[in-house]
Amino acid sequence: MQKNDVGKDRYRAMIEALAEGVLLVSRKHRIVLANKSAEEMLSWAAPLEGKDISAIFESASFSEALDSVFKEKRRRKLKLTSYHGFTGDDAIIRGKGREKHYKSCITSLDEKYAVITITDVTRIERLAIVRQDFVSNVSHELKTPLTAISGFSETLLDDGLSRDEIKGFARIIRKNSAHMQRIISDLLLLTSLDRSEIAPAMAVTTDTRILSEVRSYTQYKAETKDIEVEYESQGKSVLCNESLIVQAIINLVVNAISYSPEKTRVTVKARTRGSQMEFIVADHGSGIAEEDLSRIFERFYRVDKARSRESGGTGLGLSIVRHIAIIHDGTIKVESKLSEGSVFTLSIPLS
Ligand SMILES: Nc1ncnc2c1ncn2[C@@H]1O[C@H](COP(=O)(O)OP(=O)(O)O)[C@@H](O)[C@H]1O
Ligand SMILES: [Mg+2]
């Protein structure tokens, strides 16, 4: 089939179907044609046809780029950041999560017209920022215990220390290296959960088995604070990756113990609800303020850094729980009242 046989209407339909925004502009900077994606991306300026391009791309450098494309007949690529409307490739606007990022390419068609394509790269740009923040967080988290380890090992080399002093410093070193190990193993777990292309092995187990595993891992910690943990299950079957679900509930139980005063009560309940199995961990601890509730599942976010570190926390526990929930097509929810307590509900499909 000859190209021309396709017909004009199909060409137009093809341009309309593109996920990229496409604009046809005249030498005088007027928009002659705009496809559906362009109208959607730049909806605040719609309708686009007939408008001067400067009404959309405010920056002078964009107009210059367009002129140079006509003059030099070459292609220009630009990066654009917009906040309330476009402000150009060199705008440094940090509207923390609200700005949009676009990539744009201008190509001249002939003496009279040029084509501008626009791709929304907001998601990619945001991911890049998240990654940078993560790396700097990890470095910072590892630096704190490492500073203690190197400082106290230096002190250990001093002459004339008593046996008790030596033991005291060695204990601090041990505590801090254990903390580093916890951070690293949490990070490794998170990374392996992130690689979503490898689906974890699922098998049928029961809620009773899961909770008895959780108990064996958390019993000791509960005893050190004289906290009684009450378990309740129904012996129901559930399809899941047992060791991951056990890990998630351990994280919730450890938090319940860590952020509760001594001699209080924690309950861990498994129950079915419709096609879901719910694991509910409730405590009578410090509770979480409204403004922190939405952030506690973020990596390294803690309400009280010192308290978290003191109890051996890495700031990654809940983020691991959230990942494990997602992998199981499940959810994690929290209800909490300051100084009354918290209830975390992990919910996964039964099969
Ligand atoms: N049961 C709870 N009661 C009160 N605060 C909690 C509870 N669980 C979590 N939090 C808060 O959420 C933060 C994040 O939890 P997590 O991701 O497990 O990190 P970590 O416990 O290592 O600090 C904790 O530092 C704490 O401030
Ligand atoms: Mg924790």
Q: Is the CB of 250 under 6 A from ligand 1?
A: no
Q: What is the pLDDT of residue 199?
A: 77
Strands, E, within 27-167: which ranges?
31-34, 76-83, 85-86, 100-108, 113-120
Q: What is the pLDDT of residue 196?
A: 66
Quick one: which atom of ligand 1 is closest to the CA of 285? 3
Give 192's DSSP letter: H
Ligand 2 centroid to residue 318 C-alpha, Å: 6
In a domain, 2, yes or no: no
Q: Which of the listed residues 120, 149, 175 is the one where a domain comes to its end?
A: 120
Do 187 and 207 belong to one domain?
no
Do 228 and 313 belong to one domain?
yes
Token pair 């380890």 in the structure block, residue: 149
Entry field: residues in the chain: 351
Do 290 and 349 belong to one domain?
yes
At 146, give phi and psi (nearest 5°): -65, -40
In a domain, 1, yes or no: no
Q: Is the CB of 341 under 6 A from ligand 1?
A: no
Ligand 1 centroid to residue 255 C-alpha, Å: 6
Do 184 and 226 belong to one domain?
no
Quick one: which atom of ligand 1 is closest to the CA of 287? 4
In a domain, 212, yes or no: yes
In a domain, 178, yes or no: yes
Strand 113-120 relative to strand 21-26, pairing: antiparallel
Q: Which of the listed residues 163, 181, 198 is the one where a domain comes to its end?
A: 198
Quick one: which atom of ligand 1 is closest to the CA of 308? 23
pLDDT tens digits for range 107-127: 999 989 999 998 888 888 888
SS3 label, residue 255: helix
Ligand 2 centroid to residue 200 C-alpha, Å: 23
Residues 310-339, buried b or exposed e (16+ Cβ, 10 A)?
eeebbbbbbbbbbbbbebbebebebebeee
Looking at the CA of 310, name the nearest ligand: 1
Do 154 and 169 belong to one domain?
yes
Q: What is the pLDDT of residue 340?
A: 96
3-state helix, strand, coil in the chain (%, to 5): 45, 25, 30
- Structural domain count of the chain: 3
**pTM for this structure?**
0.76
Q: What is the pLDDT of residue 81?
A: 62
Do 22 and 140 belong to one domain?
no
Residues 92-104, buried b or exposed e (16+ Cβ, 10 A)?
eeeeeeebbbbbb
How far apart are the C-alpha atoms of 149 and 226, rounded to whole Å?
A: 31
Q: What CATH number corresponds to the domain at position 180? A: 1.10.287.130
* Containing structural domain, residue 26: 7-120
Do 176 and 292 belong to one domain?
no
The count of other CB atoms within 10 Å of the CB of residue 151 is 14
The first and second tokens of residue 278, run together, are 């719910």
In a domain, 159, yes or no: yes
Q: Is the CB of 116 under 6 A from ligand 1?
A: no
Q: Of the residues 255, 281, 299, 322, which should be mutated to test ligand 1's pocket, given the most ligand atoms within 8 Å of the CB?
A: 255
Do 142 and 230 belong to one domain?
no
The first and second tokens of residue 88, run together, are 């150009």
Q: Is the CB of 304 under 6 A from ligand 1?
A: yes
Do 61 and 178 belong to one domain?
no
In a domain, 15, yes or no: yes
Do 190 and 311 belong to one domain?
no
Q: What is the pLDDT of residue 104?
A: 86
Q: Is the CB of 266 under 6 A from ligand 1?
A: no
Q: Which of the listed residues 73, 99, 120 is the one where a domain comes to its end?
A: 120
Q: What CATH number corresponds to the domain at position 69? A: 3.30.450.20
Strand 228-232 relative to strand 265-273, pairing: parallel
What is the DSSP secondary-structure string of 42-61? TGGG---TT-BGGGTB--HH
Q: Is the CB of 259 under 6 A from ligand 1?
A: yes
Do 107 and 191 belong to one domain?
no
Name residues of the chain where pLDDT drops below 70: 1-4, 80-99, 196-198
Strand partners, 335: 343
Ligand 1 centroid to residue 258 C-alpha, Å: 8
Do 151 and 299 belong to one domain?
no
